[in-house]
Amino acid sequence: MRRWVALLVLMPLAAPAEPIEPALLGGAPNPETRLAEIGADLRSSFDAALARYDAEIAAQPHRVRARIARCRFIESFLLEYEYASFADELYEREPQCYDDVAAQFPHHPEVLLSQLERTYDDEERLATGEKLLPSFDERAWTPGQRARLYTLLANASERLDTERRQRERTAEYARRALAHDVRADVRLVLAHYYQETGDPAAALEALTSPFDGHDPEDNWYLVMKMGYLAQLGARDALLAVYSELASRSTYYDHTQTAAALRTVGEAELAARELAADNFGIYGTSDEKERFLLALESGTAEEALAAYEAWRDAGYGEDPLGINRFALFVAHPGLPWRARDALGLLGALGTLAALALLWCVPLGLIHYRGLANRQRGAPQPTGDALGLRHAWLGLSAFTLASVASLYAVGPIDLFADETVPWLVVADEIQLAKMTVAQSLLGAVLLAFVAQALRRHFPQWWSTDWSIARCTLVAAGVALAFRVPMFAIMLLGADLSRSLPLDNGIWQVLADVDDLYGIAATLWIIAVAAPVGEEFLFRGLLLRAALKHVSFPLANAVQALLFAAIHFDLAAAPYLFGCGLAFGWLARSSGGLLAPMIAHAIFNLVAGLVVLS
């Protein structure tokens, strides 16, 4: 009994200082309770942070940016804690917060900028932002605020732009942004513009400016920048960006980085980048880059292994076998595999498909001729040439185009949502491809001319004297180039303001850089005028005249002539040229006049644009 009394006396003294966790007594911890505790903590932390904003705003109620920062805090909190228990409440408070600031500071530049930043549709952002421009002075926008508006407009415009005219608008907004704030975040936009419009010095200056206002820790931006620097051949600047990026982070697009490094000859660094984990989100581009790297700087076995690894992803990776052919050219002794024949079949299939495509307009002419005949319409006159001869010539031209793809080393063909196959080649490859196409085309069309000598014996002959041909041809060509002279007389920069086949002129400028003026003159003054006139105003027009009237035959050849230039913006203009050259061919009774006209037409633009 005394023991029990002693125990009862001692028990309070031995009681633990802290309450015992229920879990220790056998009770399971309740996750909901714990989550509720965390939720409550989160709420009180949020409220405390918001209270700090409120206190700061109460102390300085005129600070508009502090008020907007408070709203942004709510917005950012929601992005970070999307599933917080009180998120629904915040989803209502966030727009209310912005509305309150807008009501308190109507038409204030910061409020308007904030509204614009939260407009995610670029069309709408542009339209709304452009309406704000006239209010700069009366609403007392600061230079920084003006620059931010122009930056928003430039970037929105950049994301929309496809047409040349809009590119000018994008660049103009970017320049205005920099005119107000040298640190405006538009350098990449400007670099892109200058690169596209053939001003690499200005592009490089934009990319290497010490005032780049973009977030220096934005890896996506840095990789993009390296891509542009690689295209400009700015090795040192690229390596400086790479060194900064690689020393700070590993989470960036290693494939694009490797491609940029490879372009400036840094094969070792490129290989190191390709060995890095690319998070499995960039498809087969890793394998493609490995192949290009191995082809350029690896052994034959490495190149073959890399090609096979890339090709393992499927037929679509090298549908025409162009890269396998490039591998063959670099290392002829490597073994072939059965699946490599698929590339050859792909090439033949493409050629056949394109050749058959010519049958569509030729077939329509043929059946139109039949219908005319059945109606008893007078039979149009024509010589011994038939539509099949025209098809032969057009197919030879197609063969030259397809074969030129194989003349420039590895290129990438990939399917896109908008076009079945997109050719990705660099500027030098495009220049080489153009020269190869002109040479192959000349040879193949010479064979065609030889083969058709019975049907079209004196295609070069003409009813006019050479002097007359030259004078009339020059008149026709200049009539089409008068707008260009007008622009030149007005002092505009022709290379930037001409809407005429700009892509082609860019390639020709590269041909000029790569092979010199003789190669450029060969293409614009000889190969294109002789080849295209022989094809369109010679074979096609004459063959069509056996079936349909001159206006229709002329329109069809002009339409196809415009189509092969692959420039929608310039198509109406080229169609007009095609009609005029067709008229010249018919009036002069030969091809000399249209050839001279075509050559002068090309030369005028060439001399102006390329100089």
Partner 1 sequence: MGQRTVSLLAATLLAGSAFPQPLDDQDGETLDAAAAEARGFDYLFGRGVERDPAQAALWLEQAADAGLPHAAGALAELYARGQGVPADEARARELALTAARAGIASAQASLGVQYALAPANSSGERDFASALQWLSAAAEQDDPRALAVLGSLYRFGTGVRQSRETWLRLSTRAAELRFPPPAVDTALYLLTNDPTTSDVQRALHFLRGAASSSYAPGAYALGKVYLHGEHVERDTGLAAQWLTRASELEFPLGTAWLAELYDKGIGVTADPERAAALREQALAAMSVGDRNELAWELAVSPHADLRNGAWAVEVAEAATAERPAPVYLDTLAAAYAEAGRFEDAVRAQQRAVAALPSTVSAATRDSYAARVELYRSGGTYREAP
Q: Which residues of the shown chain bind partner 1 in the complex (CB under 8 A)?
A: 60-65, 105, 107-110, 137-140, 142-145, 147-148, 179-183, 210-211
Q: What's the CA angle centered on 580, arms 574 and 586, to 5 degrees? A: 135
Q: What is the smallest separation between the CB atom of 441 and partner 1, expressed in angstroms?
A: 49
List b or e across 245-279, with b for residues whose CB sees 16 or more CB atoms inside 10 angstroms: bbeeeeebbbbbbbbbbbbbebbebbbebbeeebe
Residue among 164 and 183 whose Cβ is closer to partner 1: 183
Task: Report which residue type is found at 213.
Answer: G
Q: Please list the residues that pair with 76 across neighbouring strands.
A: none
Q: What is the smallest separation between the CB atom of 63 and partner 1, expressed in angstroms?
A: 5
Residue among 107 and 248 whose Cβ is closer to partner 1: 107
Q: In 364-455, which ranges are E strands?
A: 412-414, 422-424
Residue among 239 and 521 whose Cβ is closer to partner 1: 239
Q: What is the smallest separation between the CB atom of 134 and partner 1, expressed in angstroms?
A: 9
CB distance 421 to 319 below 8 Å: yes
Q: What is the smallest separation between the CB atom of 70 and partner 1, expressed in angstroms?
A: 14
Angle between the N-to-C axes of helices 267-275 and 285-297, in degrees from 0 to 180, rounded to the nearest 10: 150
Give alpha helix (H) positions in 249-386: 254-263, 267-275, 285-297, 300-311, 322-330, 340-374
| Tokens linked to 133 | 């421009």
Residue among 213 and 298 whose Cβ is closer to partner 1: 213
Return the DSSP state at 524. Answer: I
The helices-and-strands tally (H runs, E runs) of the chain is: 29, 2
Residue among 21 and 137 whose Cβ is closer to partner 1: 137
Residue among 182 and 371 whose Cβ is closer to partner 1: 182
Would you list the DSSP string of 68-114?
HHHHHHHHHHHHH-TT-TTHHHHHHHHHHHHHHHHHHSTT-HHHHHH
CB distance 463 to 590 below 8 Å: yes
Q: What is the smallest separation between the CB atom of 142 and partner 1, expressed in angstroms?
A: 5
Residue among 210 and 280 whose Cβ is closer to partner 1: 210
Q: What is the smallest separation between the CB atom of 189 and partner 1, expressed in angstroms?
A: 18
Residue among 40 and 182 whose Cβ is closer to partner 1: 182
CA separation for the pair 111, 114 (Å, rounded): 5
Task: Report which residue type is found at 307.
Answer: Y
Segment (H or E) for 439 = helix 427-451
* Residues 6+ positions from 313 with CB-CB distance below 8 Å: 284, 287
Determine how many CB atoms are found less than 10 A away from the CB of residue 2: 6
Nearest to 391 by CA among 421, 364, 417, 410: 364
Residue among 154 and 270 whose Cβ is closer to partner 1: 154
Residue among 179 and 607 whose Cβ is closer to partner 1: 179
Residue among 16 and 134 whose Cβ is closer to partner 1: 134
| Tokens linked to 466 | 């050479």
Task: Report which residue type is found at 131.
Answer: K
Residue among 62 and 375 whose Cβ is closer to partner 1: 62
Residue with tokens 């509305």: 99
CA separation for the pair 360, 167 (Å, rounded): 36
| Tokens linked to 42 | 């989160």
